[in-house]
């Protein structure tokens, strides 16, 4: 028993001695990088311009005085840029709370593969970061200081994560989802687009479609909403329509989109989309109370209108050759000829027709008849 005690004592003393050797830094010696921006350099084509938005810890988040610093650094690689940025600040840079990677539009049109690989590879970066395309440049977007921001650098992520605002125009994506789509055969990446409009407002209402590594197309606002309708479940949005000069707006409650790849006829393959929407009437110009027959009529008009615009969107995406909705992966997952299925799909996709079937049910007219 006595020898055991001696051993314990020795061990405890020994472990205290080892503690001095570790390199842990206290929280007040750290600066938290909350977002990284990457742009092309205007002066040197080999270099990129990296911006780091750094939050300065304050004691009380309720006080509302937000302190951030934006450090920009031109460098050949991001690893180099971080080391160079470190010599511009007095404290250790911590990436543990980094929640955004913004690719400037010009940069995103080149190749984001290198940086995306870095964010996954680096050990202190989360896989839960929000990647986005920034217009005009990442630096400009990071410079915007929204008046509504309460915690430094928080505004962008509250919007992108949909923890704060929930907009039908925001295509929420995580870093892991982006890297998954970048490597997956038959599914292409998408990213939301953040625009800096004015000094205090950020606008996120578009989605960028990428091939495996660069931005190819940016959809318009309305197309983005339809894209989200096809991609997500229970999207809450509004849809408007004009019938005989009168405006009707509905607010969606539950939405669901499903598709099947129908190849019963060789050479005339179709992708059958079924979109079901439950909605509530929100706005109408017509003063007369609504009748069930009137509702059916509106539903019918909506079905026709949405079918048309969704088909148009799908055809537009098809023309770019991109596959953000993962049709190719679905095809691969339902076919057993593993060696040839992807070549077959490459043949089928450009010629496939879209059959869109929208079924909207307006289940209530709100408080008023």
Partner 1 sequence: MVRNKYFYYLFLLNASINLINYVPRILIQDRFSGVLMSVLIAIPAGAILMYVFAKMLQRFPGEGLPEIFHSVFPVWISGLLLVLYGLGWYFSSAITLISFMDITSRYISPDVSPYIVLTGFLVVVGLSARLDSESLLYALEMVLYITMPLIAYMAWRVYSNPYFSWDSVRQIMTYAWNMPNYRTVAAATYIYTGYINMVVFNRIFRRFKVRYMFSIILVSIVSLFISLFGPIGILGANGAGEHVYPAFSTVDALRIRYFIIERMIYVFFVVYMILSLMNSIIHWHVGKELVLGGFKLEGEKPSLLPKKRKAEWWVLALFAVVIFVLATVINQYTLNDMAIVFLDVRFAGEILLVILLIYAAIRRGRRRRA
Q: Tell me if 212 contacts partner 1 by CB under 8 A.
A: no
Kindly tell me which residue out of 2, 13, 15, 289 binds partner 1, with binding defined by CB under 8 A: 15
- Site size toward partner 1 (CB under 8 A) is 39
Instruction: With H, G, I as helix, E, B as strand and everything else as coil, classify residue 97.
Output: coil
Query: Residues 96-135: x/- map of binding to partner 1 (CB under 8 A)?
Result: ------------------------x--xx-xxx-------
Kindly tell me which residue out of 180, 221, 351, 363 binds partner 1, with binding defined by CB under 8 A: 180
Q: Tell me if 174 contacts partner 1 by CB under 8 A.
A: yes
Kindly tell me which residue out of 9, 44, 148, 185 binds partner 1, with binding defined by CB under 8 A: 185
Q: Tell me if 181 contacts partner 1 by CB under 8 A.
A: yes
CB-based contact 261:269 (threshold 8 Å): yes
Q: Which two three-digit tokens encode residue 214?
A: 């660069």
Min CB(363)–partner 1 separation in Å: 24
Query: What separation in angstroms does the CA of 300 have from each of 230, 305, 314?
Result: 19, 9, 21
CB-based contact 106:133 (threshold 8 Å): no
Q: Which of 219, 218, 277, 281 is nearest to 253 (CA)?
A: 277
Distance between CA atoms of residues 221 and 235, nearest Å: 15
DSSP code at position 81:
H
Stretch that binds partner 1, among 179-187, 190-198, 237-245, 272-280 (CB under 8 A): 179-187
Which residues inside 302-341 make contact with partner 1, applying CB under 8 A? 326, 329-330, 332-336, 338
Min CB(330)–partner 1 separation in Å: 5
Residues contacting 129, CB < 8 A, separation 6+: 98, 99, 100, 101, 119, 174, 175
Q: Which of 192, 188, 296, 276 is nearest to 235 (CA)?
A: 276
List residues binding partner 1 (CB under 8 A): 11, 15, 18-19, 21-25, 120, 123-124, 126-128, 163, 174, 176-177, 179-187, 232-233, 326, 329-330, 332-336, 338
């Amino acid at each position: 028993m006595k020898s055991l005690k001696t051993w314990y004592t020795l061990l405890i003393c020994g472990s205290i001695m080892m503690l001095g050797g570790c390199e842990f830094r206290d929280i007040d010696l750290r600066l938290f990088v909350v977002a990284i921006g990457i742009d092309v350099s205007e002066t040197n084509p080999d270099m990129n311009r990296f911006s780091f938005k750094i939050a300065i810890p304050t004691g009380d988040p309720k006080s509302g005085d937000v302190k951030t610093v934006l450090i920009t650094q031109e460098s050949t690689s991001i690893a180099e840029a971080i080391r160079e940025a470190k010599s511009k600040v007095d404290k250790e840079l911590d990436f543990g709370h980094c929640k955004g990677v913004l690719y400037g539009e010009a940069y995103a049109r080149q190749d984001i593969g290198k940086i995306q690989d870095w964010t996954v590879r680096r050990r202190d970066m989360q896989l839960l970061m929000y990647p986005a395309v920034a217009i005009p440049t990442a630096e400009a977007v990071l410079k915007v200081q929204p008046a509504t921001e309460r915690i430094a650098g928080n505004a962008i992520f509250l919007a992108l994560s949909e923890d704060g605002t929930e907009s039908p125009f925001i295509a929420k994506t995580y870093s892991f989802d982006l890297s998954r789509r970048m490597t997956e055969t038959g599914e292409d990446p998408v990213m939301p687009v953040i625009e800096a409009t004015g000094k205090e407002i950020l606008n996120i209402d578009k989605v960028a479609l990428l091939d495996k590594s660069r931005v190819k197309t940016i959809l318009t606002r309305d197309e983005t909403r339809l894209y989200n309708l096809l991609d997500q479940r229970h999207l809450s949005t509004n849809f408007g329509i004009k019938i005989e000069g009168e405006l009707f707006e509905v607010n969606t409650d539950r939405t669901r989109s499903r598709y099947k790849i129908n190849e019963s006829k060789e050479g005339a393959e179709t992708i059958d989309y079924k979109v079901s929407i439950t909605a509530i009437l929100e706005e109408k110009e017509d003063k007369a109370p609504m009748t069930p027959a009137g509702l059916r009529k509106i539903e019918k008009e909506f079905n026709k209108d949405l079918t048309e615009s969704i088909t148009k969107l799908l055809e537009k995406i098809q023309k770019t050759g991109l596959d953000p909705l993962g049709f190719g992966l679905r095809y691969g997952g339902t076919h057993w000829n593993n060696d040839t299925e992807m070549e077959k799909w490459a043949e089928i996709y450009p010629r496939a027709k879209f059959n869109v079937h929208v079924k909207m049910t307006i289940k209530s007219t709100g408080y008023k008849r």
